Amino acid sequence: MTNERTLKRPEVLAPAGTLEKLKTAIHYGADAVYIGGNAYGLRSRAGNFTKEDMIEGVAFANEHGAKVYVAANMVTHEGNQEGAGDFFREIRDVGISAVIVSDPALIEICATEAPGLPIHLSTQASATNYETLEFWKNEGLERVVLAREVSMDEVAEIRKNTDVEIEAFIHGAMCISYSGRCTLSNHMSMRDANRGGCSQSCRWKYELYDMPFGAERTSLTDKGEVEEEFSMSAVDMAMIQHIPELIQNGVDSFKIEGRMKSIHYVSTVANVYKKAVDTYMEDPENYECKQEWIDELWKVAQRELSTGFYYHVPTDEEQLFGERRKIPQYKFIGEVMAYDAETKVATIRQRNHFSVGDEIEFYGPGFNHFHQTVEVMYNEEDESIDRAPNPMMILTMPVVEPVAVGDMIRKKK
């Protein structure tokens, strides 16, 4: 492994379920985003992009030196591939940087009918060794998203034996099934997880019952204070404390999960990993993970956090059941629409209820943060109000430090 490879700056790749999230992710430091088109993806409930959305998103990304990838990673059944050639040509022609695919049929269609559109192998294809990466390289693919079951030692071995670009998940939800190939949703809710309809049945709460014929069912467990005794739900991944190992082992793209997450989540996580990567690249020898970065990620954490399969096979400690650890939770309450430097007044679009007297936190790109108490605020008629209860309402308030358009506001629940 050469020093050049060791010191190559990785791409921070963020999820973008909507055009708003795409712009937010790039504004907060993402080098690239991945989106879903209106077909062939695995997130049918995400705000998938129309052709017009893609054109606008690609233009915005180009202005900021970023890339846009499209996930087309569904498993096709007979007939599902119809129209795929037209789809791939369309996204190629609007300037998409690459398409992420798992199904060999779609890969073949893309390669033959949309030449010039780079293809990345999806994590759903379960690439876990360098021979597999070399196979896909020979098929014309330039990047492989590793299976989430790959260990850090295996990442190092893969890098030593292939020059294919490596993309790896470093933050977000973990699927309980191998590489996301699940049929539980099909059985529980008649929704095909491998064709974009996952109902996240693994996240449901389960119980064990006695169900005698013709009688009421009764629980066979005494739950007491325990929230869950049976679980298929995995904790989330966070590799913020292991940035050096990921870079030194040649990971080219740091992938953040969450196309259905909020702009609060996307902005926070992209901001943190951008800061961590930049800090390491500036001075690798003296790099240290800062506690404030870890604390920041916990502000948007929905579940406990772990390192997935990177350092050991997950145990019951990486499952969600029993008594939960308490997680500090914040809610996203607004975003800055304008700022008057002379009056030190910010114009804010409300996203969640907050009131005079609340302590709130402003944050922006580059890890700029400050706290203040809401002393006074005004509605669009310039009337003093004591609370902001209406979603998306516009209000103004004085701020104690300068802010910028696109800065976010949150408060602790």
Lowest mean pLDDT among 76-90, 91-105, 247-261, 381-395: 76-90
When pLDDT is cut at 50, 70 and 90, the band that residue 164 belongs to is very high
pLDDT at residue 318, as a whole number: 82
- What would the pLDDT profile of 283-326 be if each residue is shown by its tens digit? 999 999 999 999 999 999 878 899 999 999 988 788 877 666 66
54 and 76 housed in the same domain = yes
- What would the pLDDT profile of 14-42 be if each residue is shown by its tens digit? 999 999 999 999 999 999 999 987 767 65
Among 262, 289, 318, where does a domain finish? 318
356 and 270 housed in the same domain = no
142 and 61 housed in the same domain = yes
pLDDT at residue 413, as a whole number: 84
pLDDT at residue 370, as a whole number: 96
158 and 240 housed in the same domain = yes
Q: Is the pLDDT of residue 350 over 60?
A: yes
269 and 144 housed in the same domain = yes
314 and 166 housed in the same domain = yes
What whole-number distance in Å separates Cα of residue 121 and Cα of residue 126? 9
What whole-number distance in Å separates Cα of residue 25 and Cα of residue 20? 9
In a domain, 54, yes or no: yes
359 and 307 housed in the same domain = no
What whole-number distance in Å separates Cα of residue 345 and Cα of residue 338? 9
In a domain, 209, yes or no: no
Q: How many domains does the chain have?
A: 2
- What would the pLDDT profile of 193-214 be if each residue is shown by its tens digit? 665 667 777 777 777 778 888 8
Residue 281 near residue 9 (C-beta atoms within 8 A): yes
| Mean pLDDT over each residue of the chain, to the nearest integer | 89
pLDDT at residue 6, as a whole number: 57
Task: Enter the tokens of residue 366.
Answer: 């580059």
In a domain, 229, yes or no: no
When pLDDT is cut at 50, 70 and 90, the band that residue 130 belongs to is very high
In a domain, 306, yes or no: yes
Helix 291-298, helix 263-282: angle, nearest 10: 170
Task: Enter the tokens of residue 206.
Answer: 């389960």
In a domain, 71, yes or no: yes
Among 296, 318, 340, where does a domain finish? 318
| CATH of residue 131 | 3.20.20.380
Question: How far from each other are the two terminal CA atoms of the chain, in whole angstroms?
Answer: 47
pLDDT at residue 44, as a whole number: 47
| Choice between 38 and 124, residue whose per-residue pLDDT is larger | 124
Rg (CA), the chain: 23
Question: Stretch 270-283: mean pLDDT, rounded?
Answer: 97
Q: Is the pLDDT of residue 137 over 80?
A: yes
239 and 372 housed in the same domain = no
Q: Which of 359, 348, 361 is nearest to 388 (CA)?
A: 348
- Give the structural domain span for 390: 330-412
| Choice between 112 and 301, residue whose per-residue pLDDT is larger | 112
42 and 147 housed in the same domain = yes
Q: Which of 388, 370, 364 is nearest to 378 (CA)?
A: 388
What is the percent of the chain with per-residue pLDDT over 90, rounded to a whole number? 70
Task: Enter the tokens of residue 220.
Answer: 């066979």
62 and 95 housed in the same domain = yes
- What would the pLDDT profile of 373-412 be if each residue is shown by its tens digit? 999 999 999 999 999 999 999 999 999 999 999 999 999 9
Q: Is the pLDDT of residue 223 over 80?
A: no
Among 318, 344, 373, where does a domain finish? 318
Count how many residues are written for the chain.
413
Q: Is the pLDDT of residue 47 over 60?
A: no
pLDDT at residue 263, as a whole number: 95
In a domain, 200, yes or no: no
| CATH of residue 347 | 2.40.30.10
SS3 readout for the chain:
CCHHHHCCCCEEEEECCCHHHHHHHHHCCCCEEEEECCCCCCCCCCCCCCHHHHHHHHHHHHHCCCEEEEECCCCCCCCCCCCHHHHHHHHHHCCCCEEEECCHHHHHHHHHHCCCCCEEECHHHCCCCHHHHHHHHHCCCCEEECCCCCCHHHHHHHHHHCCCEEEEEEEECCCCCHHHCCCHHHHHHCCCHHHCCCCCHHHCCECCEECCCCCCCEECCCCCCCCCCECCCECEEECHHHHHHHHHCCCCEEEECCCCCCHHHHHHHHHHHHHHHHHHHHCHHHCCCCHHHHHHHHCCCCCCEECCCCCCCCCHHHECCCCCCCCCCEEEEEEEEEEECCCCEEEEEECCCEECCCEEEEEECCCEEEEEECCCEECCCCCEECEECCCCCEEEEECCCCCCCCCEEEEEC
In a domain, 376, yes or no: yes
Question: Stretch 37-54: mean pLDDT, rounded?
Answer: 71
pLDDT at residue 73, as a whole number: 85
In a domain, 288, yes or no: yes
294 and 348 housed in the same domain = no
| Choice between 348 and 205, residue whose per-residue pLDDT is larger | 348
300 and 338 housed in the same domain = no
pLDDT at residue 215, as a whole number: 81
Residue 409 near residue 325 (C-beta atoms within 8 A): no
Name residues whose C-beta falls within 8 Å of residue 211's C-beta, 6 or more positions apart in sequence: 217
Q: Is the pLDDT of residue 68 over 60?
A: yes
